[in-house]
């Protein structure tokens, strides 16, 4: 994987959406396929909160990526046809610069001195990266989950930079229910003594906070319906102590949360989580209340949601679809009956391969 990781130096004069600058900032990114001569086959993938640039393997000996089933030669996002770019988000901890990166001025991690991060910053730096690769306009930006909101941030701030949009399991803004879940996740991390206002270390890690945050998040990633099938009613364990783990769903949460603890940086998690809650595409409407997508120049859009998604319920995709239609974009809305909730785009391979593949094929005509 390391062979394929590339680094893009963010221009020193990049100003964050809410103010602030960083020096020697980097975006870690990967690409698949070949950019054609007229630079007309570029697809940018903007990721969910905890994903990285390794969206797919680069060859048979490479490790699998987080969207491996979707991207590759002959797959829905066909790398024989498309030049695909995926970066770790600015602010993340997967190679790109974030609050856990060293501040060149001090040699110490930025921690809370990292500028306030918005999804607009993820979008803006992604556009700078694409431009540095010689891409004047993207064929499409593809964003699932947080990436869907980052894609809207891109379109709202760079109105001509992409011809098409694939927007999956996301929306114009986080509903209060999702903000509440993320707020509790942030609270769990912040209140862990080991978090220590950002002054944690590898040997003094806010493990309990990260674990609990992950468990809370997991309430919203799948669906109650999927869990009904997954966890039998019969009890599984005799708890080791009063109120110890006993129910199958408790073991599941414990197992997956334990795996997550050291996979993500706590302060990066806070920054990205808050960026999701800050994003509000509606604020772009001028005058206030007008359709914020009125003056974008998108050719078409595919908006996808799953009926069982708790985190970005289908109301949000319907809303976006109607705003797109209203602004003259040829938008298609697909609501799947996938039972995997918010995670459907990662799990329901057949459904999502089909609809993304069909859309990209049609858009290429």
Which residue, 137 or 179, has its beta carbon nearer to a second copy? 179
Is 343 annotated among the ligand-binding residues?
yes
The conformation of residue 203, written as its DSSP 8-state character, comes to T
54 binds a second copy (CB under 8 A): no
- Element holding 104 (H helix, E strand): none
Question: By CB under 8 A, what part of segment 208-247 binds a second copy?
Answer: 208, 212, 215-216, 218-219, 224-225, 227-228, 230-231, 233, 242-243, 247
Cα 361 from chain centroid (whole Å): 24
The answer to whether the CB of 216 falls within 8 A of the CB of 185 is: yes
> How far apart (Å, rounded) are the C-alpha atoms in residues 28 and 251?
35
Which residue, 95 or 266, has its beta carbon nearer to a second copy? 266
- Among 345, 301, 363, 360, CA closest to 326: 301
Residues with a catalytic annotation lie at 145, 309, 342
339 binds a second copy (CB under 8 A): no
164 binds a second copy (CB under 8 A): no
- Element holding 31 (H helix, E strand): strand 26-32
313 binds a second copy (CB under 8 A): yes
Question: By CB under 8 A, what part of segment 183-202 binds a second copy?
Answer: 183-184, 186-188, 190-191
| Alpha helices for the chain (secondary structure H) | 119-132, 146-157, 176-190, 207-221, 224-230, 248-260, 266-278, 314-326, 344-347, 349-363
> How far apart (Å, rounded) are the C-alpha atoms in residues 74 and 78?
5
# residues contacting a second copy (CB under 8 A)? 43
Which residue, 1 or 190, has its beta carbon nearer to a second copy? 190
Binding residues (CB under 8 A) for a second copy: these are: 112, 173, 175-177, 179-181, 183-184, 186-188, 190-191, 208, 212, 215-216, 218-219, 224-225, 227-228, 230-231, 233, 242-243, 247-250, 253, 270, 274, 277, 280, 282, 310, 313, 315
Residues at the binding site for substrate are 214, 343
């Amino acid at each position: 994987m390391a062979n394929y990781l590339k680094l893009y130096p963010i221009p020193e004069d990049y100003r964050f959406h809410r103010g602030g600058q960083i020096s020697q900032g980097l975006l870690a990114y990967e690409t698949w396929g070949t950019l054609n001569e007229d630079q007309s086959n570029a697809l940018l993938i903007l990721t969910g909160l905890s994903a990285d640039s390794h969206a797919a393997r680069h060859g048979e000996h490479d490790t699998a990526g987080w969207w491996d089933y979707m991207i590759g030669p002959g797959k829905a996002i066909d790398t024989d046809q498309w030049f695909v770019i995926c970066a770790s988000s600015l602010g993340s901890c997967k190679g790109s610069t974030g609050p856990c990166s060293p501040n060149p001025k001090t040699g110490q991690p930025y921690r809370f001195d990292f500028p306030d991060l918005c999804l607009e910053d993820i979008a803006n730096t992604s556009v700078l990266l694409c431009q540095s690769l010689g891409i004047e306009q993207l064929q499409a930006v593809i964003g699932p989950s947080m990436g869907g909101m980052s894609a809207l941030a891109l379109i709202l701030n760079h109105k001509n930079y992409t011809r098409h949009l694939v927007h999956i399991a996301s929306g114009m803004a986080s509903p209060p229910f999702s903000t509440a879940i993320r707020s509790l996740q942030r609270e769990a991390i912040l209140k862990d003594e080991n978090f220590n206002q950002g002054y944690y270390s590898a040997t003094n890690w806010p493990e309990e906070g990260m674990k609990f945050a992950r468990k809370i998040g997991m309430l919203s990633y799948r669906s109650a319906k999927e869990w009904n099938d997954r966890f039998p009613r019969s009890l599984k364990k005799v708890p080791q102590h009063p109120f110890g783990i006993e129910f199958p769903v408790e073991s599941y949460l414990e197992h997956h949360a334990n795996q997550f603890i050291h996979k993500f940086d706590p302060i990066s998690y806070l920054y990205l989580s808050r960026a999701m809650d800050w994003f509000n595409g509606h604020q772009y409407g001028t005058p206030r209340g007008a359709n914020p997508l009125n003056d974008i120049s998108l050719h078409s859009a595919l908006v996808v949601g799953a009926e069982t998604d708790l985190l970005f319920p289908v109301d949000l995709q319907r809303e976006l679809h109607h705003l797109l239609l209203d602004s003259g974009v040829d938008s298609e809305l697909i609501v799947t009956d996938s039972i995997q909730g918010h995670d459907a785009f990662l799990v329901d391979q057949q459904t999502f391969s089909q609809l993304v593949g069909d859309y990209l094929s049609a858009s290429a005509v």
